[in-house]
Amino acid sequence: MSFNLARLNHVFIPTRRSERDRLRRGWVGRISWPFAHVYFALSEEGRVAAIFALLAAFAGLDIHNGNNHWLWCGLFAPLVVAYLLRFAFPLNGVRMEVHGPDRLAVDAPGEIEITLTNSSDRDYSNIRVERPLLPWDGRWTTKRPVIAELPAGTSKRVRVAVRFSARGQHDLDAFRAVSVAPLGLTVGRGVEASFPAFPVVPRLARIERLELPMAHRYQRGGVSLASKIGESTELLGLRPYRRGDRMRDLHPRSWARLGEPVVREYQQEYFSRVGVILTTEMTKPDEARLEAAVSLTAGVVGYLTRGEALIDVLVTDGKIHPITVGRGLGHLEQVLDHLSTIELLRAVKPGSEGRRGRLRARLEGRQTLEMEIPEAWDGRLQPYFESLSCVIVIALDWGPRQRSIVAQISATGLSCRAVVLDVEADPAVATTVDSQMVSSGEAVFL
């Protein structure tokens, strides 16, 4: 199993801000508080000077056989003076606001906007905005912002760009704005602000063509939020007239009885409904291929949302995670959020197709997790097939379980399109797609 060194570097740092705050308030935070206080009181130049002062201190321990201790004095004295001066340069009366994205796609640039408002009667200068430590998959793509002047009663706005390379919920610590004290070695007491957590969602694969036999199918009870496009509608009830309603939908008898216009409201009973099933089992863990499968699933849903069909997205990792979008019931962003938060990395041990098959989840850099999977777990998909018009299955392997799902779908009379990544399969049953082509953004024809 390969290891992600960037992830291992952050293995002891909690991913959630609440957990990091709890760690700071615990005994670890109490022990490290003096060092953290000095660290955040120094500017970047001051931290470099402190490192040289520390090296000079070790070199000058033997004061009887050398003069290196004078070098330590020359470096340490300015740091002490600068530390005392920092108390005269707080950002009193300055308010900070941070606005970030609602969501970001993997490896897509995102902007975070920072606004400083000076409500005091004092002018400030040389203000630096210190950015929080990013998780293992993030990197800043712009330099640290600096505000040269912030006069009294004014506001200044700066932006920083960031990228993330992994899906999931991201929760950043607070940004901090500080004023640099004289000598440039320390900073005054600053202001902080943060913004809510946001998901990093998978990229949409570039689907140029998707051939599926689309057909209308009866939907028990209809879908009240679906648009009135299709073959047959059912009377849902009566409601007051709203501007833009069709004149032919007016109900004269109710209008006469109530003294105000009343219209009939319909719901559609027949329309197309496509199931998109993503099976996340793999014989060998391969995170890159998994991400390509998630991206392909998002691309297929994005392609289908351009039409008039409902889409049921069913992610299977031993459990069924359903979500329905299209025709007023939901949006593509909800599917992307859904795919970003589900733990998808799963691997089935070779030879574990018995009655009590064991599913092994290998998260790189994390402890192995094992789950018991019933023999006929894929039978839980059966209730979803009753209302579907057709199904597309996206799989990472082509083993007994995947073939069982396709056979189960075909047995119901539904048309099924199976897509497998990087694994050879029977062309008459499944289509093989190169995961590298999906990851690189090349056009995919299905």
Rounded mean pLDDT, 427-439: 84
* Residue 112 bridge partners (DSSP): 160
Residue 6 lies in a domain: no
Q: Are residues 350 and 247 in the same domain?
A: no
Rounded mean pLDDT, 133-154: 91
Q: Is the pLDDT of residue 339 over 70?
A: yes
3-state secondary structure the chain: CCCCHHHHCCCCCCCCHHHHHHHHHCHHHHHHHHHHHHHHHECHHHHHHHHHHHHHHHHCCCCCCCCHHHHHHHHHHHHHHHHHHHHHCCCCCEEEEEECCCCEECCCCEEEEEEEEECCCCCEEEEEEECCCCCCCEEECCCCCEEEEECCCCEEEEEEEEEECCCEEECCCCEEEEEECHHHCEECCCEEECCCCEEEECCCCCEEECCCCCCCEEEEEEECCCCCCCCCEEEEEEEECCCCCCHHHECHHHHHHHCCCEEEEEEEEEECEEEEEEECCCCCCCHHHHHHHHHHHHHHHHHHCCCCCEEEEEEECCCEEEEEECCCCCCHHHHHHHHHHCCCCCEECCCCCCCCCEEEECCCCCCCEEEECCCCHHHHHHHHHCCCCEEEEEECCCCHHHHHHHHHHHHCCCEEEEEEECCCCCCCCEEEECHHHHHCCCCEEC
CA 12, 15, 18: angle at the middle one, nearest 5?
Answer: 105
Poorest-pLDDT segment among 84-98, 152-166, 273-287: 273-287
pLDDT at 354: 38
Per residue in 90-119, pLDDT (tens digit) is 999 999 999 998 889 998 999 999 999 999
* Final residue belonging to a domain, choices 72, 88, 104: 88
pLDDT at 379: 59
Residue 2 lies in a domain: no
Q: How confident is the model at residue 288 (pLDDT cuts 50, 70, 90)?
A: confident
* Dihedral (Cα; 56, 61, 64, 66), 10-degree rounding: -20
Q: Is the pLDDT of residue 154 over 50?
A: yes
CB atoms within 10 A of CB 412: 13
Q: Are residues 291 and 434 in the same domain?
A: yes
Per residue in 254-275, pLDDT (tens digit) is 888 888 888 877 655 455 778 8
- Write down the mean pLDDT value for the chain: 78
Instruction: Identify the CATH number of the domain in which residue 196 sits.
Output: 2.60.40.10
Q: Are residues 297 and 440 in the same domain?
A: yes
Cα–Cα distance measured from residue 439 to residue 18, given in angstroms and rounded to the nearest whole number:
33
CA-nearest of 37, 26, 73, 27 to 53 is 73
Q: How confident is the model at residue 129 (pLDDT cuts 50, 70, 90)?
A: very high
Per residue in 62-91, pLDDT (tens digit) is 777 777 778 888 888 999 999 999 999 999
Rounded mean pLDDT, 148-171: 91
Per residue in 36-49, pLDDT (tens digit) is 888 899 999 999 99
Q: Are residues 264 and 279 in the same domain?
A: no
Q: Are residues 119 and 243 in the same domain?
A: no
CA distances (Å), origin 203, targets 35, 107, 301: 41, 8, 12
Instruction: Identify the CATH number of the domain in which residue 425 sits.
Output: 3.40.50.410
pLDDT at 330: 65
The tally of domains found in the chain comes to 4
Q: Are residues 353 and 439 in the same domain?
A: yes
Q: Are residues 277 and 255 in the same domain?
A: no
CA-nearest of 98, 91, 179, 158 to 132 is 98
Q: Are residues 433 and 314 in the same domain?
A: yes
pLDDT at 347: 42
pLDDT at 318: 56
- Between 193 and 430, the more confident residue is 193
Residue 431 lies in a domain: yes
Poorest-pLDDT segment among 138-147, 159-168, 429-438: 429-438
Per residue in 195-251, pLDDT (tens digit) is 888 999 999 888 888 887 655 454 444 444 444 444 444 455 677 888 877 777 788
Residue 4 lies in a domain: no
CA-nearest of 320, 277, 317 to 301 is 277
* Final residue belonging to a domain, choices 88, 106, 121: 88
CB atoms within 10 A of CB 56: 18
- Between 282 and 48, the more confident residue is 48
Q: Are residues 322 and 367 in the same domain?
A: yes
Cα–Cα distance measured from residue 23 to residue 291, given in angstroms and rounded to the nearest whole number:
31
pLDDT at 179: 93
419 near 446, Cβ under 8 Å? yes
Cα–Cα distance measured from residue 15 to residue 200, given in angstroms and rounded to the nearest whole number:
13
Poorest-pLDDT segment among 142-156, 376-390, 419-433: 376-390
Give the range of the structural domain holding residue 326, as residue numbers without chain letter: 207-213+272-445
Q: Are residues 308 and 418 in the same domain?
A: yes
* Final residue belonging to a domain, choices 88, 104, 138: 88
- Between 124 and 384, the more confident residue is 124
Q: Are residues 33 and 69 in the same domain?
A: yes
Q: Is the pLDDT of residue 303 over 70?
A: yes
268 near 226, Cβ under 8 Å? yes
pLDDT at 214: 56
CA distances (Å), origin 15, targets 19, 137, 173, 398: 7, 11, 10, 34
Q: Is the pLDDT of residue 375 over 50?
A: no
Residue 66 lies in a domain: yes
CA-nearest of 91, 154, 161 to 128 is 91
Q: Are residues 42 and 74 in the same domain?
A: yes
Tokens representing residue 136 in the block:
């293992």
Tokens representing residue 11 in the block:
């293995």
pTM over 0.75: no
Q: Is the pLDDT of residue 370 over 60?
A: no
